[in-house]
Structures are given as structure tokens and as C-alpha cells.
């Protein structure tokens, strides 16, 4: 199953139905199919080599998807990227790029500039040399950084994408018709959601952050929104301050990419939609667990029921499986992971058989199969034996008075021990003394303040990746720089 083949199918069955709705354009299935064909003909003249992946640095989602699908039509590997990834591409073997703005070029590689002349302005003439249809589609390349901030290349094969589509038939409510996709198409999350929507002949919707998203939702009766917790919360805040938009059609909000706290989900339910579905997974292994939030709301740190397609274990540091309710390292494997592993780690003997993916999370599984995430191994701060999860501390901070955003990291102090440093993006009413008072009343923070203390530093913005995850390495450097500037020498 090649996604652009499904687009071509829907272009025949319902040519005038929108495939993509954006704030600046509506593209029908016939229009999208013609755009892919037109772009593929242009790509065929560029001289790209079939064994070399091509980055696609185009901000407009409809144009970016047309170029990616066209590259695959031509037998080329596509890597949808955003501007921030450009400096890292050559180090992972990507030297060629199709770009739209001057800032998105690669030195020393083949740079081909995209413009609207690539798109059809009328009926396409017959191809001079008809090309046979392929039985398979080339790979896609995505990048994930987790909390490290260092891009990691992940290859996604067509076989893995098919597994993802099959899983989604089990985990998705199929009643939706228009989906607002908040993650960008340079993310595995966003691109795979797009593929799900187009495969089913439904409508993928996109809008830049801001009020335009509410306008789009109200104008086109969007009935589902998918995004990371940070993206969904930003949309919720917009709705809270601009309640006049009609969102009657919205029947489902799906949150993935990071843990969504119970308080965050309550805000979403109050302002956007009662039906909230949460999910847990990774770029490397796709969907692992999911559930309607109401079913797991009373289970602390729950992220969903482990899917029947996933083999998941909680293990100790030596890799020995632990029993129900015992806390340890999470590892799992899915058909998606297995079908991608050889492409990502060809040097591994024996392929994927017997191999596990370790996401770095710490958690438990209840007796009835609910996965609970207690934190990330690399998020744990060890303050002289007092161990705390940065993520759990951030959940407390975000509920404090005058805190717009917050993030926590461990910084080695002069004593050689880790210290808790807090970055605060202030809102109206913020005061350090008030924050200190509120934190003293919390059990986790109270113990930290009594035993080791915590450094509070005001910053302009928390460094996050495209899905809203805190980039702790970048945060640490930002806090150090701000502290050094404030400290007299």
C-alpha cells in the first residue's frame, strides 16, 4: 500500500472532496493527486541519485507532503525536515535538499529550489514515457531528539508504515471526517497521522499556532484534533481566552508524544471536548498503549492499556523481568519496530529477532495491563541520594501562581553534587516568594527545599522540541548562562 496510490484512488472516487484544508488554501483529492504527479515529473529532471535521501525543507504542509510523496513516486527516500535540522543533516548522510526559502540550503550538496511552477496550473499533459507503477515505496526518514536535543535519524520503511495503519484501525474511532493535525510533518507523529487520514479518504487540516487554529476549527467544523500535550494545552489556552468560536463539531481530542497530566486533561475537557484519548509510543516503535482518559483517570501516571500488538516488559537494571506493579525500566517491541530495525541498525547480527527497544522511561504495569510512566531515567536528578523526577516536579510548578511555563534540570554544583535548577517563564502575578511558599506545601518540593534547596531562574522561553518535550541539555546551558550573567564577578 503506497499512500500516493490511495490518494490517486480517492481522486477517482471523490475528486472534488477536500483532502487538505489550511488557513490559506483548500486542496481536493484530485488537486493533490495532480500536484504529486506534476512535482514527480519535475523531480525526474533534477538528477537526484536513487541511493541518496533528499531532505524536504518546505514550511507549507500541503506543498511539503506533495513533494515527499512525489519523491517516493520517483523511487527516492524523502526526509521531511524543519529549518532547525538543517545544520545536522550532512552528519547523518543527507546532502541533497528541496528547499523553498534561502535559509534552508545545504553547503556542498545538491540544492533544488521549489516554487509554485512545480504545481499544475491546468490539466497535465500525458507523460512522454509512461512509468510502471512500483510495488513498494521507498523509506522515509524522520528525526527524534527526545530530551537530549541532538537529532537522531530514524528510518521508517513502508512495511512499518503498513503495520502502523493496521494498528490504527484497532485504536481509532473511525467516525471522524476532518482532523486538525498540530504536529508538523517533519515529525513522525504528524506525518503518520497525515497518512492515516489520507488513506481513509478523509480531510487533513493544518494551521499555524495562534487564533487561526480556532478560526479553522469553527469555519470547517473540525471534529478531531491530534497533538502533543503542549500543543493541545496551547490550543486550550486560546479557547479559554477567546470563547466566542463555535466548536460544536469537535468530538475527539487525541494526545500523544508525551505524558498528559490529569489536571491538563481536565482543562482540555472543560474548554475543548469531553472525549480525550491519550496514547503512549515512540518514533522507533510507534503506538504502544492508549485509552480514553476517563477509563484511566483514577490511576496515577497512567498512559493507557498496552496494545495486543505490543510485547512490553518492566525490567531491572540487569534486564530481568519484574512482576505487576513493580517499578523498573520499560522495554518493548512492536511489529513496527521489528520491520524498521534492520533499516536503522543493519550492523546488528540476526536482524530484529529477540531485540528490544528501551525508550528510557521508568514505569509499572498494573495487573489489568495499564501502563504507568513514573518518569524518564535521564530525567532523574540525584541530589546526594535524594532522587526526584524532573517531569514530576514540572507538573507541580505548572500549577503554581504566575507560572506560564516551567522546566527543571539537574546541574552539578561546586560540591560535585547535582542541584535542582528551575527555569520559570513568568505570567501575571508571579513572585519568587509566593512560588517558594507554594512549593513548600508540596511533599516532593518540600523535601527538596528542606534538604538541598533549589535555584529559581526566570527565563523567556523553555527550550522544547516540535512536540513540546523539554530539551534538558539546552535548558541547562540556558540557565547557566542566565545565572552567570546575574552573578557579579
Place of cell 523481568: 321
Is the domain of 14 the same as that of 153?
yes
One domain for residues 94 and 201 = yes
Q: Does any domain span residue 346? A: no
Residues 88 and 223 in one domain: yes
Q: Which of 88-102, 138-152, 329-343, 419-433 has the lowest mean pLDDT?
A: 138-152
Domain that holds residue 457: 384-486
In a domain, 377, yes or no: no
Domain count, the chain: 2
Q: Is the pLDDT of residue 262 over 90?
A: no
Out of 264, 295, 326, pick the residue that ends a domain: 295
pLDDT digits (tens, 9 = 90+) for 401-425: 999 999 998 887 766 677 889 999 9
Q: Does pLDDT of 37 surpass 80?
A: yes
Decide if 350 is inside a domain.
Answer: no
| Same domain (yes/no): 291, 388 | no
Q: Which CATH number covers residue 453?
A: 3.30.300.30
357 pLDDT exceeds 60? yes
Of 295, 323, 348, which residue constitutes the final position of a domain? 295
Would you say residue 221 lies in a domain?
Answer: yes
Mean pLDDT for 233-257 is 94
| 253 within 8 A of 279, measured Cβ to Cβ | no
Lowest mean pLDDT: which of 24-38, 39-53, 169-183, 361-375? 169-183
Q: What local confidence, expressed as pLDDT, does residue 451 receive?
A: 74
pLDDT at residue 348 greater than cutoff 80: no
Per-residue pLDDT band at 263 (split at 50, 70, 90): confident
Residue 186 sits in a domain whose CATH number is 3.40.50.12780
Domain ends where: 252, 280, 295?
295
Amino acid at each position: 500500500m503506497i499512500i500516493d496510490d490511495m490518494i490517486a484512488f480517492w481522486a477517482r472516487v471523490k475528486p472534488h472532496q477536500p483532502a487538505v484544508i489550511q488557513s490559506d488554501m483548500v486542496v481536493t483529492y484530485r488537486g493533490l493527486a495532480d500536484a504529486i504527479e506534476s512535482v514527480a515529473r519535475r523531480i525526474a529532471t533534477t538528477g537526484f541519485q536513487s541511493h541518496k535521501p533528499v531532505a524536504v525543507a518546505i514550511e507549507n504542509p500541503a506543498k511539503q507532503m506533495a513533494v515527499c510523496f512525489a519523491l517516493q513516486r520517483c523511487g527516492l527516500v524523502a526526509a521531511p525536515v524543519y529549518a532547525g535540522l538543517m545544520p545536522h543533516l550532512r552528519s547523518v548522510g543527507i546532502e541533497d535538499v528541496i528547499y523553498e526559502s534561502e535559509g534552508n540550503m545545504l553547503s556542498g550538496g545538491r540544492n533544488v529550489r521549489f516554487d509554485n511552477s512545480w504545481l499544475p496550473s491546468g490539466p497535465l499533459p500525458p507523460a512522454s514515457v509512461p512509468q510502471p507503477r512500483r510495488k513498494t515505496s521507498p523509506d522515509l526518514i524522520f528525526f527524534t531528539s527526545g530530551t537530549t536535543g541532538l537529532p537522531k535519524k530514524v528510518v521508517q520503511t513502508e512495511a512499518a508504515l503498513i503495520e502502523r495503519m493496521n494498528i490504527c484501525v484497532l485504536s481509532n474511532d473511525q467516525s471522524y471526517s476532518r482532523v486538525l493535525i498540530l504536529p508538523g510533518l517533519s515529525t513522525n507523529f504528524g506525518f503518520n497521522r497525515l497518512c492515516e487520514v489520507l488513506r481513509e479518504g478523509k480531510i487533513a487540516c493544518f494551521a499555524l499556532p495562534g487564533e487561526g487554529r480556532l478560526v479553522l476549527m469553527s469555519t470547517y467544523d473540525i471534529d478531531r484534533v491530534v497533538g502533543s500535550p503542549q500543543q493541545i494545552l496551547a490550543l486550550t489556552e486560546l479557547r479559554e481566552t477567546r470563547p466566542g468560536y463555535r466548536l460544536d463539531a469537535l468530538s475527539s481530542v487525541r494526545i500523544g508524544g508525551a505524558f498528559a497530566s490529569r489536571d491538563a486533561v481536565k482543562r482540555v475537557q472543560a474548554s475543548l471536548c469531553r472525549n480525550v484519548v491519550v496514547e503512549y509510543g515512540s518514533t522507533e516503535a510507534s503506538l504502544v498503549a492508549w485509552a480514553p482518559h476517563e477509563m484511566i483517570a483514577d490511576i496515577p501516571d497512567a498512559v493507557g492499556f498496552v496494545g495486543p500488538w505490543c510485547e512490553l516488559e518492566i525490567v531491572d537494571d540487569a534486564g530481568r523481568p519484574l512482576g505487576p506493579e513493580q517499578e523498573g525500566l520499560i522495554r518493548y517491541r512492536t511489529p513496527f519496530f521489528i520491520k524498521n530495525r534492520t533499516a536503522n541498525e543493519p550492523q546488528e547480527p540476526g536482524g530484529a529477532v529477540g531485540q528490544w527497544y528501551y525508550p528510557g522511561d521508568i514505569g509499572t504495569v498494573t495487573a489489568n495491563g495499564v501502563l504507568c510512566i513514573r518518569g524518564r531515567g535521564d530525567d532523574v536528578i540525584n541530589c546526594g541520594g535524594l532522587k526526584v523526577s524532573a517531569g514530576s516536579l514540572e507538573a507541580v510548578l505548572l500549577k503554581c501562581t504566575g507560572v506560564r511555563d516551567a522546566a527543571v534540570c539537574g546541574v552539578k554544583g561546586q560540591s560535585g553534587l547535582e542541584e535542582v535548577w528551575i527555569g520559570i517563564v513568568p505570567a501575571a502575578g508571579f513572585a519568587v516568594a509566593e512560588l517558594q511558599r507554594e512549593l513548600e506545601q508540596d511533599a516532593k518540593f518540600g523535601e527538596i527545599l528542606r534538604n538541598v534547596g533549589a535555584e529559581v531562574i526566570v527565563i523567556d522561553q523553555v527550550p522544547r522540541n516540535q512536540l513540546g518535550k523539554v530539551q534538558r541539555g539546552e535548558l541547562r546551558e540556558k540557565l547557566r548562562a542566565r545565572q552567570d550573567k546575574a552573578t557579579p564577578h
